[in-house]
Structure 1
Amino acid sequence: MFKKILFLLAIATLVSCGSSKSSRSKKTAYKPKKTVVTRKPTASKTSSSKSNSSNDRTTEVIESTSRTVVYSDVVNNYVAQFKDIAKGNMKQYGIPASIILAQGILESGAGSGTLSKNANNHFGIKCHTGWEGESVRHDDDASQECFRKYKDPAESYRDHAEFLTGRSRYANLFKLEKGDYEAWAKGLKAAGYATDPKYPDKLISYIERYNLHQYDAEVLGTNYTPITKSQPIASAPKPRPTSSGEGYYEVSKGDTLYSISKRFGTTVDDLKRLNNMSDNAISIGQSIKVK
């Protein structure tokens, strides 16, 4: 009887140990779940990273038109961006860097004009015969004229240089002194680069206002004298009237005879006749008779 009792106690002890071992085993098996829970900070870090990436998006740039007012800081930034290209073109093609930059500022609105934004065209060069590259349509002297489109502004600068060096009518320009920006500005007008009678004055004004001739001096290895003038850099254009009691309209930046004719419901030929004009050249501030 006593042996039987000892046997039962031994069995009970073994069952108790197995149960305890099983309980400990279960607790050990549960630990991975706790480990999974501790990964929450990692998930939070990932979320933070995505948030930062969203904040780094490039801000949208609102497309400007050729009538956008350009202030001095915009022009200075434009010069800083393209002065090295202009100097490189001066060395390679013989065109004064000051003239290149002044034309770029004037023709592209310091990079803010429609053509420079849409087509990287900084010099208003039209397609002309033989152009096989991309193009865009833009209202100028006539409706939807063909203008060259470039992959980047540097390509536009190079094409501008090749445009001047590759046409015989500009040959006399390259007989001028490279440091004589006034002669170059007047020579461009004489060669027919622009029909605006004030074109040379505008180029010279930009060159002297922003001391662009310093880059000519850097290429030529000569000294230059800064020009200081107390004159406004840019001013907001006057309101563009839709009509005038006196029948006149004041030309604003970006206007052409074609755009004015459309505004007042007339034709380019009628405007030229009313104003005794022999060509389509107009200038900012000019008073045009529209009826």
Structure 2
Amino acid sequence: MIKKIALLLLISLVLSCNSSKSVTKKTSKSKTTAIKKKPAPVFVKTQPKDSPKPIITPRSEVELEATSKVRTYDDEIRFYISDFSEIAKNNMRTHGIPASITLAQGILESGAGKGKLAQSANNHFGIKCHTGWTGESVKHDDDAAQECFRKYVHASESYRDHSLFLTSRSRYASLFKLDKGDYEAWAKGLKAAGYATDVKYPAKLIGIIERYNLYDYDNEVLSRNFAIAKKDPAVELAAGNYTVQQGDTLYSLSKKFNITVDELKKMNNLSDNAINVGQKIKTK
């Protein structure tokens, strides 16, 4: 009996020890799993509420009127000049047409390459098919609906054809008697010879040439140093002349010079209210 009791006590003691070890192990494991690594802090840069906003300078927009109205930007016009100035100078050397006139016409007629004809036909001068044209063509609304215009593979071909167009037609012969450096006379001569029907065509060309100093390319070909003499705006205004600036309208000028819009249009032979940057306006 005593042996049985002793055996029971021994079994009880063994079981008690195993139970204690099991609890300790679980506790240890529990502590291990409970320890978690803290994530690294994330720092987010925020702009102070009172910090100044970045200044965005608006692009200078220019409206060009040719076979259709095209809105383009000053920097686009300068890129256009950079792309085609060498071609214009080479054509001047070969055919005698001032590079300034060629570039100004290209800018005006094609909207600095953004016009429909320039995009669809590489036609930068609005040259129509006319009798004898055997190349490709496109239809485009101009003086009449769906007129035939020449189509070129490359824009450079349009520049070459422009020179050939002027040199091969008798009605433009008077142009080649003019001084190659006199862009004003050439601009007026083109209108007189019937290149364009727009009465403001010469003023538009001259305005583009003087705004972008296109006469510099004539200088390179002619080896001269011509430059426009800077005029005192106060003297010009006193003489009743004003050069149109970006943002001017006939209405704003009428208020500025205390004159009606109709009077301005009459003095300047304007058929509508459209004016262009660089255009000379009589104010009295």
TM-score interval, normalised by the smaller of the two chains = 0.5 to 0.7
Gaps of 5+ in 2: 1-66, 232-242, 250-269, 276-284
The residue that corresponds to 2:206 in the other structure is 204
Give 1:185's aligned amino acid.
Answer: A
TM-score by length of 2: 0.59
The residue that corresponds to 1:128 in the other structure is 130
TM-score by length of 1: 0.57
Q: CA deviation at 1:68?
A: 3.3
Q: State how far apart, in whole Å, the 2-side matches of 1:186 and 1:209 are.
A: 18
**Superposition pairs of residues 194-233 of structure 1, within 5 angstroms:** 194-225=196-227, 232=245
Q: State how far apart, in whole Å, the 1-side matches of 2:82 and 2:158 are.
A: 17
Which of residues 97, 100, 103 in structure 2 aligns to 1:98?
100
Query: What is the aligned length?
Result: 179
Gaps of 5+ in 1: 1-64, 237-280, 287-291
The residue that corresponds to 2:274 in the other structure is 285
Are the counterparts in 2 of residues 66 and 112 from structure 1 also a CA contact under 8 Å? Answer: no
1:147 match: secondary structure = strand
1:68 match: secondary structure = strand
Q: CA deviation at 1:224?
A: 2.4
Q: State how far apart, in whole Å, the 2-side matches of 1:147 and 1:205 are.
A: 27
Are the counterparts in 2 of residues 71 and 233 from structure 1 also a CA contact under 8 Å? Answer: no
Q: State how far apart, in whole Å, the 2-side matches of 1:210 and 1:228 are.
A: 14
* 1:238-290 deviations in Å (ceiling 9; x for gaps): xxxxxxxxxxxxxxxxxxxxxxxxxxxxxxxxxxxxxxxxxxx976629xxxx
Give 2:274's aligned amino acid.
Answer: G
Bigger Rg over Cα = 2
Percent identity between the two aligned chains: 65
The residue that corresponds to 1:107 in the other structure is 109
Q: State how far apart, in whole Å, the 2-side matches of 1:154 and 1:206 are.
A: 21
Are the counterparts in 2 of residues 209 and 227 from structure 1 also a CA contact under 8 Å? Answer: no
Change (3 A) 1:94 1:234: farther
The residue that corresponds to 2:78 in the other structure is 76
Change (3 A) 1:232 1:67: same
**Bigger relative contact order (CA 8 A; separation at least 6):** 1
Q: State how far apart, in whole Å, the 2-side matches of 1:138 and 1:75 are.
A: 23
Give 1:285's aligned amino acid.
Answer: A
Change (3 A) 1:129 1:202: same
Which of residues 172, 179, 182 in structure 2 aligns to 1:180?
182
Change (3 A) 1:234 1:177: farther
Q: State how far apart, in whole Å, the 2-side matches of 1:213 and 1:151 are.
A: 29
Which of residues 130, 149, 152 in structure 2 aligns to 1:150?
152
Q: State how far apart, in whole Å, the 2-side matches of 1:72 and 1:224 are.
A: 24
